[in-house]
């Protein structure tokens, strides 16, 4: 449902908008280099104070994953192993 708008109102900025200390192109270089926007589920977002803490946690996870990958195995593949004492499901 669209809201009716007054065409004259769209031409005027409200007085509370103050761009006097704005910097033109402040984020241009970062944006032109590419952006990766990731949306976190609310329960995950609660665990992090800011984007720096999310990045720190992900760097730790990547480092741990690299340390745990045995030599000779591609690190982009997922290898699942059975728990000892469990029989594998029959193949179809």
7 part of a folded domain: no
The range of the structural domain enclosing residue 45 comes to: 38-69
Residue 78 has pLDDT above 60, yes or no: no
Q: Show Cβ contacts of residue 12 under 8 Å, excluding neighbours closer than 6 positions.
A: none
DSSP 75: T
Please provide the average confidence, as pLDDT, over all residues in the chain.
Answer: 77
C-alpha span between 30 and 24 (Å, rounded): 14
* pTM, entire model: 0.41
4 part of a folded domain: no
Residue 67 has pLDDT above 70, yes or no: yes
89 part of a folded domain: no
56 part of a folded domain: yes
- For 31-58, what is each residue's pLDDT tens digit? 888 777 788 999 999 999 998 999 999 9
Residue 76 has pLDDT above 70, yes or no: no
Domain total in the chain: 1
43 part of a folded domain: yes
């Amino acid at each position: 449902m669209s809201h009716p708008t007054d065409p004259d109102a769209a031409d005027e900025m409200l007085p509370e908008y103050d761009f006097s200390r704005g910097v033109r192109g402040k984020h241009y270089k970062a944006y032109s280099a590419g952006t990766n926007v990731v949306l976190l589920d609310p329960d995950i977002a609660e665990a992090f104070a800011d984007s720096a803490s999310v990045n720190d946690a992900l760097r730790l996870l990547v480092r741990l994953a690299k340390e745990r990958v045995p030599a000779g195995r591609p690190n982009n593949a997922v290898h699942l192993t059975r728990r000892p004492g469990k029989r594998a499901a029959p193949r179809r």
